[in-house]
Amino acid sequence: MNNIILVGMPGVGKSTIGVILAKMLGYTFVDADIIIQNQEKRLLKEIILQEGVEGFIEIENRINASIDGDKCIIATGGSAIYGKEAMEHYKNIGKILYLKIGYETLSGRLHDIKGRGVVLKEGQDLKDIYEERCPLYEKYADYIVSEDGLNVEETIEKILEIL
């Protein structure tokens, strides 16, 4: 399969970059979060509220593990890397590209993490999930693109050079 799966923290631009990349490469853009919302008929924050963090991660893992396609740019939710089956599935259907960003840049971009439907366990803040997730993104990534100091166009140029 020749899909590109974008992973990274909320706010790194997976959806924005994914749409532009899809247009440039003639691929289809797939937003995993929208697929989850459509299948569940609820917003992400409603699923988290009603099912709890673990319940949401189970739903996200199941749906991500079922997303298929050919010549797709798939933007995942930031918590997709908690789903072992989903990440193994993504490894089998394409290349995983981790959009990496420094914590300071990220915290400047993200103001309302609860309103975005970000998966936070009890007592966690943005710094906690950043430190917890970054090693997981790196573990699954085929490619890592550091966005620090780059705008969207420069990030896309860097991605195209890698691909």
Which residues of the chain fall short of a pLDDT of 70? Answer: 1, 111-117
Q: What is the pLDDT of residue 113?
A: 66
Q: What is the pLDDT of residue 115?
A: 59
Q: What is the pLDDT of residue 114?
A: 60
All domains in the chain, ordered by first residue: 3-158 (3.40.50.300)
Full-model pTM: 0.94
Q: Please write down the long-range contacts of 101-106, taking CB distance under 8 Å and 24 or more positions apart.
A: 101/8, 101/9, 101/11, 101/12, 101/146, 101/147, 101/148, 102/148, 103/127, 103/130, 105/147, 105/148, 106/9, 106/11, 106/12, 106/130
Q: What is the pLDDT of residue 68?
A: 93
